[in-house]
Copies of this chain bind each other. A is one copy, B any other.
Amino acid sequence: MKKSFLIVAIAACVLFNNVSFAQNPPRALTGRQLAAMFPPGVKSPECNKDGTVTFRFQAENALKVELNCQMFEENKAMTKDEKGVWSITVTPPAPDIYPYCFVVDGIQVTDPNNVLIFPNENFKNSLVDVRGPVPDFQDMQDVPHGKVSYRYYHSKNVGFDRPMCVYTPAGYDPKGKEKYPVLYLIHGMTDTYETWFKVGKVNMILDNLIAQGLAKKMIVVMPYANPYPEMMRRGSATRMDMMGTDLFTKEILNEVIPFVEKNYQVRSEPGSRAIAGFSLGGRQILACGLGNPDKFQYVCAFAPAIFGNEVSNNFDNGTYAKPEVISSNLKLMWLSCGTSDFLYQTSLSLHNSLNERGIQHRTMFPDGGHTWMNCRDYITEVAKLIFK
């Protein structure tokens, strides 16, 4: 009686976040009891041998549980078994890494049994990694691996220490004679400096491209584009203008680049600097890159959030350099957007604006929406082109 109470109590504690251990500490327990603490068999997500994926979620008392997964346009109803485990088995449209969550009586819930999380300021999704029969560039393969480092630098621009992720390729020697080109890679709105690493898989993509001789060895710098959450936390009096790009450009030019060029073996001529960004990050890198073609010779916009007459205004008011200066400096101007992305029409407008001004650029307008599945394809193609 006492023993089984202990086991049940402890299992409950583990499931409920170890919170109540301190509250009702069992006096002592055996290894068998600890083993019994192990959460029962809710395995989720499970990639099955036939290519399907099963999602499971324990919720005895929920009335309705749905799967919200970017594999599909609509939520999918899950069904409950006699143990209170809701599940669904689905066939993914293609192997890829998809964000998902459970919708439990209308509330979005991260999968508690999955360690893969989508870093974001305003929602929490899990990630399901569906592998195909042939490894993709985004899959970890048995090739030499670079590393991703979490670095911290003091920003005089905003007045506090800030994080960034930095990818260095396998064999990078911080004291060697070889100097590397640098890609500055910017996330989307409400994403964080971790999103290109954890969701964009840029380190795995580059490990594989470099191992296959398809991309140059390069360093990838992923700063936190938007300091607003930290400014809010500090009760900053500074006006926050999410759509403004000045604070971003200043941070990149005056803080991020100097930190990188001081701490890494990098080439600092403009032909060895690329800047790329997704969504709001696309808006930001257009301002920073097209505004400073003497500093970046590769400017790559992925579904950029730039609208209506803003492009014309930016050329007129000097946010962007003169078209002829851009044309004579840039080695690559890139624009990509999915044809069902909500920013597709504005991307086409940008495409036309660049054409009207005689700015050569490469485009990629594949299927798909405003997703990280598309982003990984964009960065894969861009990584093959830059610094060559």
Q: Which residues of B contact A190 (CB under 8 A)?
A: 14, 39
Across the interface, name the chain B residue whose C-beta is closest to A303.
B21
B28 touches A346 (CB 8 A): yes
Residue A142, interface by CB 8 Å: yes
CB distance from A76 to the nearest CB of B (A): 12
Cα distance A68–B1 in the bound complex, in angstroms? 29
Point out which of A34, A307, A346 has the most chain B C-beta atoms below 10 A from its C-beta. A34
A120 touches B115 (CB 8 A): yes
B61 touches A106 (CB 8 A): yes
B148 touches A150 (CB 8 A): yes
Q: Which residues of B contact A15 (CB under 8 A)?
A: 122-123
Q: In the complex this chain forms, how many copies of it are found?
A: 2
Residue A384, interface by CB 8 Å: no
Interface string of A13-29 (1 = CB under 8 A from B): 11111111111011111
B108 touches A26 (CB 8 A): no
Q: Which residues of B contact A62 (CB under 8 A)?
A: 105-107
Q: Which residues of B contact A349 (CB under 8 A)?
A: 28
Residue A258, interface by CB 8 Å: no
CB distance from A343 to the nearest CB of B (A): 8
Residue A50, interface by CB 8 Å: no
A340 touches B25 (CB 8 A): yes
Cα distance A253–B119 in the bound complex, in angstroms? 33
B29 touches A125 (CB 8 A): no
Chain A residues engaging chain B, CB cutoff 8 angstroms: 10, 13-23, 25-31, 33-35, 37-39, 43, 47, 49, 59, 61-62, 68, 70, 73-74, 99, 101, 104-113, 115, 117, 119-125, 140, 142, 145, 147-154, 161, 173-176, 189-190, 192, 197, 203, 229, 232-233, 235, 242-243, 280, 305-308, 310, 338, 340-342, 344-346, 349, 368-371
4 closest residue pairs by CB, A with B: A22-B369, A175-B175, A145-B152, A28-B345
Cα distance A338–B23 in the bound complex, in angstroms? 12
Point out which of A31, A74, A148 has the most chain B C-beta atoms below 10 A from its C-beta. A31
Across the interface, name the chain B residue whose C-beta is closest to A30.
B307
Known: A154-B142, A243-B34, A369-B22. A43 touches B232 (CB 8 A): yes
Cα distance A186–B172 in the bound complex, in angstroms? 28
A-B contact pairs, 17 of them (CB 8 A): A16-B123, A22-B340, A22-B341, A22-B370, A25-B369, A31-B305, A31-B307, A31-B310, A34-B307, A38-B189, A62-B105, A108-B109, A117-B119, A117-B124, A140-B152, A147-B152, A149-B149
Question: A18-B371, A108-B109, A173-B174 given. 20 additional CB < 8 A pairs?
Answer: A15-B122, A17-B123, A22-B338, A22-B368, A22-B370, A22-B371, A26-B342, A28-B345, A30-B308, A31-B307, A59-B106, A105-B105, A107-B109, A108-B112, A109-B109, A112-B122, A124-B124, A142-B161, A147-B152, A150-B203
